[in-house]
Structure 1
Amino acid sequence: MSNNLSHAELLKRPGNRIGFGTIATFVIAALFFVSLFAIGFTPERMLEVPGGVAEVLSFFWPADMAYGWERVLPAIIESIQIAWIGTIIAAILSLPLALFGARTLFPRLARVVKLISATARAFPEILLAIYFVPIVGLGAFAGALAIGISSVGMLTKLGAEVVDSLDFGTVEAVEAAGGSRILALRWAVLPAVLPEIIAHWLFRFELNIRASAVLGVVGAGGVGGVLLNTLRYRHFDKAAAVLILTILVVLAIDTVSGEIRRKIIRG
């Protein structure tokens, strides 16, 4: 047997090949370091961060919690209402889109739905709020519309993935008995996928509460406007109350929503 191996044969050996993972790791690392320098990162600036954080926190303490109870709680409630209405809008719109976006059920239509979903996900809530404020005016309604439209994309994508994971045999059984594809959706698909889809709705509601807290900055209602005013007039103690109460409310809602989601999924 000849010991002279060609270059192609050497490359075929596992130990001599540069795999895709190695190349991807190198590219990701290179992009990371290039991005660091592009944003002006230096080790010296990073070392200054802890001291700067401590100095800023000293401005916020002690918090004026009396202001928080009087002014912040109503604004937080409004943020929750914005998130809830936006989530309901998204749930109503995304459910049929998720069904028609399933490749196993409607392969041709799924491409169109996928494009709609990707387009909706491309716009952050705050940009949509800037767009809706001149149309419907300042206030919570603009925020709810922004939250709703932005959430449709994510919920449609997640819902379609849930439907695609379903055993297609149940649909075929309904159709074999003489039922239409729509009847199969109603009696075979929806009962199987709805619990997981509702869990996705609740998770999106948690995310929407965080998003709605920012929309007040552009006049779309919620606690963001209150926070902006306290910072604008350098009332840092009041701003601290806004942040503390917002964090507490968000954590409480996350806990309750997470427990509800677990119970829904378990059945």
Structure 2
Amino acid sequence: MSAAPPGPLTGRPTPPSKLWSTVWLLVSAAVVVWAVWTVDANWARLLGLPGEVGNYARLMGGGVLNNPTADPWAEYWVLAISRMLESVQMAWIGTLIGAVLSLPLGFLAARTIAPAPVVFAVRQVLNAVRALPEIILAIVLIMPIFGLGPLTGALALGIGSIGTLGKLTAEAVESIDRGPVEASLASGARGLQRIRWAVLPQALPEIVAFWLYRFEINIRASAVLGVIGAGGIGSLLSQLFNRREWEQIGITLVVIIVVTILIDTLSGAVRARIIQGG
């Protein structure tokens, strides 16, 4: 004899409790209020921010709006562009260093490729590198050896890129389709052969996209490194701010913004083409 079907529902189900979400919201709000209260900032100066912004825009706009082919403005534009190209070169060399060194480390950090002890050790190394900002690497490790200059900036960017690119490479390797790997295994391919013919072709487009994205980040980071004397556009900006040469500062900032936008646009198009295809 078959069991009788269950009867219809007599009421709505009990809604889930919102107690914990409310508690976490209140705790988050309390942390924000505490941070604002203890940061000891002069919040009253925010009222004068629009006027200050307009004043500095007027000072820096004096150089931008002048004839760029006349003296001394032509010299300012040439100097800013040459230093910006130096920053781009630093970022490119740093990205190449990070890409070359992070590729094998990324494979060793992938759980689907390397044994667990190796994965754990390599991931801790990548975490340690990623925890150190490029400016700390330049001051503590690289500058005492190579001194001031673009080489220090490029090496700092390269070492700093290893941590992030290695982690992203490992994630890209772990997320590939296992079908080609199993097919290569069934055909008798060995470890390196499986990586070369089944893993790398799948993961490489995404890895190259990560390299391009890191190149964009390194361009911005190179400007910060220049402040400590590591070359590039940052060194020029540091000197100009010390001398309060606002007109030349305006020209330099315009060059930074325009070049960064152009590189971001081009890099984004290349990344989309690599990932999505034609």
CA distance in structure 1 between the partners assigned to 2:62 and 2:46 by the alignment:
27
Equivalent of 1:127, from 131, 136, 160? 136
CA distance in structure 2 between the partners assigned to 1:217 and 1:95 by the alignment:
30
C-alpha distance 225-43 of structure 1, shift in aligned 2 (>3 A) = closer
CA distance in structure 1 between the partners assigned to 2:180 and 2:59 by the alignment:
62
Question: Any idea what SS the aligned residue of 1:218 has?
Answer: coil
CA distance in structure 2 between the partners assigned to 1:102 and 1:53 by the alignment:
48
The letter for the 2-side match of 1:89 is I
Partner of 1:247: 257
**1:207-241 alpha-carbon deviations (Å, 9 max, x no partner):** 10011112111111101111111111111101111
Pairing 1:89–2:86 present:
no
Contact 1:67–1:238 under 8 Å retained in 2:
no
Pairing 1:70–2:78 present:
yes
Partner of 1:117: 126
CA distance in structure 2 between the partners assigned to 1:37 and 1:53 by the alignment:
25
Partner of 2:27: 27
Partner of 1:18: 19
1:258 to partner: Cα distance: 0.7
> Which is further off, 163-172 or 109-118?
163-172
CA distance in structure 2 between the partners assigned to 1:72 and 1:53 by the alignment:
22
The letter for the 2-side match of 1:112 is A
Pairing 1:163–2:173 present:
yes
**1:61-93 alpha-carbon deviations (Å, 9 max, x no partner):** 212542432211111111000000000000001
C-alpha distance 260-16 of structure 1, shift in aligned 2 (>3 A) = closer
**1:88-108 alpha-carbon deviations (Å, 9 max, x no partner):** 000001111111111122241
Contact 1:126–1:215 under 8 Å retained in 2:
yes
C-alpha distance 16-80 of structure 1, shift in aligned 2 (>3 A) = closer
Partner of 1:7: none
Q: Residues 177-256 of structure 1: matches in 2 within 5 Å?
A: 177-256=187-266
CA distance in structure 2 between the partners assigned to 1:95 and 1:221 by the alignment:
27
Contact 1:133–1:219 under 8 Å retained in 2:
no
Compute the RMSD of aligned alpha carbons: 1.9
Contact 2:86–2:233 under 8 Å retained in 1:
yes
CA distance in structure 2 between the partners assigned to 1:125 and 1:263 by the alignment:
30
Partner of 1:49: 49
CA distance in structure 2 between the partners assigned to 1:167 and 1:70 by the alignment:
50
Question: Any idea what SS the aligned residue of 2:234 has?
Answer: helix
The two structures have a TM-score, normalised by structure 2, of 0.86
The letter for the 2-side match of 1:72 is A
- Structure 2, unmatched stretches of 5+, are 1-13, 65-72
